[in-house]
Chains A and B, each alone.
Chain A
Amino acid sequence: KQEVTQIPAALSVPEGENLVLNCSFTDSAIYNLQWFRQDPGKGLTSLLLIQSSQREQTSGRLNASLDKSSGRSTLYIAASQPGDSATYLCYKAAGNKLTFGGGTRVLVKP
């Protein structure tokens, strides 16, 4: 069974600190990897999509990297703000399967 693991499950940082969120997967076969944020009571908002041929994507304070050989993706959020508090989910598409990680709940304290 494909597994996508996100560690840590929860993270609390003071405002201004950089955030590093990890996503690891057991099967290196991959079409694309996507990072989402989920706010309580709301759906998922896409942050960054990395195709299998790419190594990273950047958008504003966000940077996501993909290392297929080690089965890992990392989401960096620079200079965190209280508005970054949410659950961050990674998702991997491979074959005909779509697999989400369990998420990392982030709290940025003012």
Chain B
Amino acid sequence: GAGVSQSPRYKVAKRGQDVALRCDPISGHVSLFWYQQALGQGPEFLTYFQNEAQLDKSGLPSDRFFAERPEGSVSTLKIQRTQQEDSAVYLCASSSKVGLKVNEQFFGPGTRLTVL
């Protein structure tokens, strides 16, 4: 596709439920990022993939959060046993460049997760 796509766009989960959020990056982009954006705040970095390798997961808030990109293209962010504080917009971004130095990221529309 022409841009980064994410699905679902909206997800409502009951507390304790597991959720899986999908990101389809721009074709051929080697770098993929996940961010969490709470209401009224800027995005916060969660994790970074270079192809299929997860090089940085320092931003994941707890071991309930897990991300994968097994074939170096589509990525899934999984949240186990969701809590109300997990409610946020989850943004995915991709880049044709490797690493952070000379980087321009292209963002998807995000998935708005609401945990009841």
**Which residues does A use to contact B, with CB under 8 Å?**
4, 6, 31-32, 34, 36, 41-46, 49, 51, 89, 91, 93-103
Complex-state Cα separation, A103 to B89, whole angstroms? 15
Distance from B35 Cβ to chain A, minimum over Cβ atoms (Å): 8
Complex-state Cα separation, A75 to B103, whole angstroms? 19
Label chain A's interface by main secondary structure.
Answer: strand
Cβ contact of B91, chosen from A44, A49, A51, cutoff 8 A: A44
In this complex, which of B42, B104, B109 has the most chain A Cβ atoms within 10 angstroms of its Cβ? Answer: B42
Taking a contact as CB atoms under 8 Å apart, the answer to whether A103 and B102 are in contact is no
Task: Report if A43-B100 is in contact (Cβ < 8 Å); known contacts: A89-B42, A100-B43, A103-B41.
Answer: no
Distance from B112 Cβ to chain A, minimum over Cβ atoms (Å): 8
Q: How large is the interface on B (under 10, 10 to 19, 20 to 34, 35 or more residues)?
A: 20 to 34
Chain B residues lying within 8 Å of A4, measured Cβ to Cβ, are 42
Cβ contact of A93, chosen from B42, B103, B109, cutoff 8 A: B103
Taking a contact as CB atoms under 8 Å apart, the answer to whether B33 and A98 are in contact is yes
Cβ contact of A103, chosen from B42, B48, B105, cutoff 8 A: B42
Taking a contact as CB atoms under 8 Å apart, the answer to whether B45 and A43 are in contact is no
Q: State whether the Cβ of B18 lies closer than 8 Å to any Cβ in chain A.
A: no
Complex-state Cα separation, A97 to B44, whole angstroms? 10
Task: Report if A31-B101 is in contact (Cβ < 8 Å); known contacts: A43-B4, A43-B110, A44-B91.
Answer: yes
- Provide a sorted-by-A list of 30 A–B residue pairs whose CB atoms are within 8 angstroms: A31-B102, A32-B102, A32-B103, A34-B104, A34-B105, A41-B109, A43-B91, A43-B107, A43-B109, A44-B93, A44-B107, A45-B107, A46-B104, A46-B105, A46-B106, A46-B107, A49-B104, A51-B102, A89-B43, A91-B42, A93-B103, A95-B100, A96-B56, A96-B100, A97-B45, A97-B100, A100-B42, A100-B44, A102-B41, A103-B41
